[in-house]
Structure 1
Amino acid sequence: MTDKRNKLQKKSIYPVDAQYIYAWHARPGALERLIPPWQEAQVLERSGGLGRGGKTTIRMRIASIAFTVKAEHLQAIPGKMFEDRQTEGPFSLWQHRHLFQNEENGASMEDLVQYRLPVHEFLPSFVHGAVKKELTRTFTYRHEILRHDLARHQRYSWPPLRILISGASGTLGRELVPFLESGGHRVFRLVRRGVEGDKEIYWNPALGEIDSNAIPEIDAIIHLAGEQIGLSRWSRGKKERVLRSRKNGTRLLCAAMAKLPRPPQVFLSASATGYYGDSPEQNLSEEQEAGSDFISQVCKVWEKEAAQAEITGIRTAMLRMGVTLSHRGGALKRLLQIGKIALPRSFGNGRQYTSWIDINDMLAAILHCLVCPEIRGPINIVSPQPVRNEELLATIAQIKKRPLLPRVPASFLTFLYGEMAREIALANCHVSSKKLVESGFCFQYPELKKSLKIQLGRYR
């Protein structure tokens, strides 16, 4: 028998029908999308679908303890329900039923979970309370991200696309692949290691190699690959690798595209708001000239190479991405790592602007650029609400309940990190999202606090 402490129930209404929600759960990438970003988890296996006999294996890590969770599906009624139970993992009992039902204004999804902890009877009440709190936090996230993804894919209802992605193993790529796959699109990856399966194609930009013969008929290419900028002082060699990886990789892709029997209709190439450099101006638009610093010149060369695809008749857009907020990587993860106890009040005087975007809005903006035929050339992918550095750090500290320490002087940062500090941490970048908004894109998380609450799982 289970008692109230061992049950969890959550129900939400979505503006789609029940079959649509069920179908989303059945697709590749759905489970990855439902894993909260603050949890260290990797889906190792998902086979057999949602019906009886389906299996799932997840590798998780909590407080430096790694363990495997295995589950099997017990039953499924398409469009109505499916049920699974844990066969290996931290709970002595875990049985999860997902119920779908059409309602007057859409459809409901209800999660019903029964669970029991090992040595349940001997655990103090605060342990039960902590587990229930974390499960509630997790399912709140799951329902929120499901609402986001269903709305995005319904809005951009489109025949499934066949998409080739470079940089799929990076922070953005790891999020983008499951987002697109759970929307019904088929994703192929360019990989430098040995190819595994028919969804991977070998390439090595450093050697100028790509297996063009293995590229299937595709509708779009999303190019994200490039040497990481890094967090340490830039050496001459590092700067050369950053520039060369973007220049050579983009050139190689454009040449390969031009030779395909049926070239893709769309080419989206990553760039960055660093294109504008450290600028005192506000609301920088895509017509603004490139800055004069290192990152600006890298972006300028990167975009020039990508523009070659347009010459061959492929609709091409250069995505000038802002600082992407994700608990799983990038700037936010680094700030959380240095702010486990406290955060600095600011870097430098804190008045410099950061043009940022929530990871989920970033994914949706990429999908928007894929399917909107009027989007060409450079486009800023940023929230409409840039924030000053001091506001960014203060908001993180407030949500995480961390104290603020004195400012880190600009001179100290430049002493430690040199050019990297001036261009990454201290540069002023206030970029406009007008072109993106006027093309019809709607932000789900335009406000910093709203974005951070979903990324950090703090809903109150």
Structure 2
Amino acid sequence: MRIAITGASGLIGTALSRSLTDDGHDVLHLVRRPARTMAEVEWEPERGRVDLARMAGTEAVVHLAGAPIGPARWTRRHKRRIRDSRILGTRTLAARLASMETPPARLLSGSGIGFYGDTGTTVTTEEGPRGTGFLADLVAEWEAATEPAERAGVSVAHLRTGVVLARSGGLLGTVLPLFRAGLGGRLGDGRQYMSWIGLADQVAAIRFLLERPDITGPVNLSAPAPVRNADYTAALGRALGRPAVFAVPGFAMRAALGGFADEAALVSQRAVPQRLLAAGYSFRHGDVHSAISGILDGHRRA
């Protein structure tokens, strides 16, 4: 299969590209500079430009590009950068794919469980209501931006991704040095739920969806068992054989990170992957203990 990927240099994109290439797929990377190899396609999302000649014959597109959400203070400028990188990029890509004589049959477009806002202890599926706040509004607009591709007959699914756990990068990779030093701990009171997914499952689920064009609309890419932050912290400490008794007070996080603290670090989101499970996807790591152990064991073997 000929598959184009935006955001191919990021945590998920790098792993996905490697997995597909290893299995013999023809993978194209959309890059924001002149293409240097036949495996690259230049695009300028802010200008509405994609080199469609290089996209000919593409059967599927996985759109993962977007500025990092955090951890960082959400200034007005930073929020605008987060929004523009997703909305403008998705609009450009969807419109240009729709203009092709033969558009790709499948588009998997990045999204997030931020759509649901703070769900507290309530379990939510893809049928759950939209929440409130910057991220909920962003995700709604982000997903709506694929409409031109949908109108052109492209099968579109939105990858509502949770916290991706990996040994390098992402939340886990960032805090591992602290936990190894015995300085790890919960965020706030630790009672908030975290909807997470291991990187291996993230990649496998995307590949599963590439083969299932009948699945359209939002799909939660998160493990079946969301976990409270305190339990996640304890599981990581046990896996490393280190104490995890420290805590970062919520007021301190709000003072340092503003909106990011309330909508990302301290928010409680208990999203489950109802549509993936109903479609027959089998998680490699369905609980956080096996996920962390698998990730750390892989790191030790490497």
Q: TM-score range by the shorter chain?
A: over 0.9
Give the aligned residue type for 1:211.
D
CA distance in 2 between counterparts of 1:349 and 1:335 reads 18
Aligned to 1:396: 236
Aligned to 1:235: 75
Aligned to 2:57: 217
Q: Secondary structure at the match of 2:123?
A: coil
Aligned to 2:273: 433
Q: How do residues 55-454 of structure 1 correspond to structure 2 at under 5 angstroms?
A: 161-454=1-294
CA distance in 2 between counterparts of 1:302 and 1:337 reads 34
CA distance in 2 between counterparts of 1:454 and 1:285 reads 26
Give the aligned residue type for 1:433.
P
TM-score by length of 1: 0.63
- Unaligned 5+ runs, structure 1: 1-160
8 Å Cα contact 2:117-2:136 kept in structure 1: yes
Q: How do residues 17-28 of structure 1 correspond to structure 2 at under 5 angstroms?
A: none
Higher share in helix? 2
Per-residue Cα deviation, 1:100-144 (whole angstroms, up to 9, x for no partner): xxxxxxxxxxxxxxxxxxxxxxxxxxxxxxxxxxxxxxxxxxxxx
CA distance in 2 between counterparts of 1:443 and 1:370 reads 16
8 Å Cα contact 2:121-2:193 kept in structure 1: no
User: C-alpha displacement at 1:417, in angstroms?
Assistant: 1.0
Give the aligned residue type for 1:425.
A
Q: In 2 relative to 1, CA 389–249 (structure 1 residues): closer, same or farther, beyond 3 Å?
A: same
CA distance in 2 between counterparts of 1:286 and 1:187 reads 29
8 Å Cα contact 2:66-2:82 kept in structure 1: yes
User: C-alpha displacement at 1:209, in angstroms?
Assistant: 2.4
Give the aligned residue type for 2:10.
G
Q: Secondary structure at the match of 1:346?
A: strand
Give the aligned residue type for 2:36.
E
CA distance in 2 between counterparts of 1:366 and 1:200 reads 21
CA RMSD between the two structures: 1.6
Give the aligned residue type for 1:187.
V
CA distance in 2 between counterparts of 1:337 and 1:253 reads 38
8 Å Cα contact 2:117-2:263 kept in structure 1: yes
CA distance in 1 between counterparts of 2:277 and 2:31 reads 33
User: C-alpha displacement at 1:194, in angstroms?
Assistant: 2.7
Q: In 2 relative to 1, CA 219–180 (structure 1 residues): closer, same or farther, beyond 3 Å?
A: same
Q: Secondary structure at the match of 1:317?
A: strand
CA distance in 2 between counterparts of 1:343 and 1:387 reads 21
8 Å Cα contact 1:191-1:200 kept in structure 2: yes
Q: Secondary structure at the match of 1:441?
A: coil
8 Å Cα contact 2:8-2:64 kept in structure 1: yes
Q: In 2 relative to 1, CA 436–343 (structure 1 residues): closer, same or farther, beyond 3 Å?
A: farther
Per-residue Cα deviation, 1:397-424 (whole angstroms, up to 9, x for no partner): 1111222233221111111111111111
Provide the identity percentage: 36
TM-score by length of 2: 0.95
Q: Secondary structure at the match of 1:227?
A: coil
Give the aligned residue type for 1:202.
E
CA distance in 1 between counterparts of 2:127 and 2:268 reads 18
Higher relative contact order structure (alpha carbons within 8 Å, sequence separation ≥ 6):
2
CA distance in 2 between counterparts of 1:201 and 1:373 reads 24
Give the aligned residue type for 1:200.
E
8 Å Cα contact 1:343-1:393 kept in structure 2: no
Per-residue Cα deviation, 1:170-221 (whole angstroms, up to 9, x for no partner): 1110100011111221110100123111110001212332212222211100
Give the aligned residue type for 1:163.
I
Q: Secondary structure at the match of 2:270?
A: coil
Give the aligned residue type for 2:59.
D
Per-residue Cα deviation, 1:143-172 (whole angstroms, up to 9, x for no partner): xxxxxxxxxxxxxxxxxx110100000111
Q: In 2 relative to 1, CA 242–381 (structure 1 residues): closer, same or farther, beyond 3 Å?
A: same
User: C-alpha displacement at 1:281, in angstroms?
Assistant: 4.7
CA distance in 2 between counterparts of 1:194 and 1:338 reads 39
- Unaligned 5+ runs, structure 2: none
Aligned to 1:115: none
Please tell me whether Structure 1 or Structure 2 has the larger radius of gyration of its CA atoms: 1
User: C-alpha displacement at 1:285, in angstroms?
Assistant: 1.3
Higher share in strand? 1
CA distance in 2 between counterparts of 1:343 and 1:355 reads 23
CA distance in 1 between counterparts of 2:237 and 2:255 reads 26
User: C-alpha displacement at 1:298, in angstroms?
Assistant: 0.9
Deviates more, 1:221-230 or 1:211-220: 211-220
Q: What is the count of residue pairs matched by the alignment?
A: 300
Give the aligned residue type for 1:429.
Q
Q: Which runs of 4+ in 1 moved over 4 A?
A: none
8 Å Cα contact 1:344-1:408 kept in structure 2: no
